[in-house]
Amino acid sequence: MIEVFATDINDQSCAQKILDFLSSEFPDYEVNIDLHDCDNILRVVCRDSEIDSVKLMEMVQVKGHKISILPD
């Protein structure tokens, strides 16, 4: 499964902190952030289970960032 989110994460240092945090909280997820995209895309891939989008968004918001699911 793949889920794509728009975020307000806008610099490499912040992106790395969020990626490290999410990787520790969701070890089965492959996460990356595209800072060159206008929506600062957070892309999540999970091959073994469903992605818990609500929990993931809550975790990013706890770190002080805006995040929303991009529609298909």
pLDDT digits (tens, 9 = 90+) for 1-13: 999 999 999 999 9
pLDDT at residue 71 in the model: 84
Cα dihedral angle (37, 62, 59, 31), rounded to 10 degrees? 30
Domain that includes residue 13, residue range: 2-69
Q: Which CATH number do you get for residue 26?
A: 3.30.70.100
What is the number of domains present in the chain?
A: 1
Q: Are 29 and 35 in contact (CB under 8 A)?
A: no
Classify the C-alpha dihedral 53-61-13-8 as positive or negative.
positive
Predicted TM-score of the model (pTM): 0.93
Integer-rounded Cα Rg, in Å, for the chain is: 11
* Burial class, 28, CB count within 10 angstroms (exposed 0-12 / middle 13-18 / buried 19+): exposed
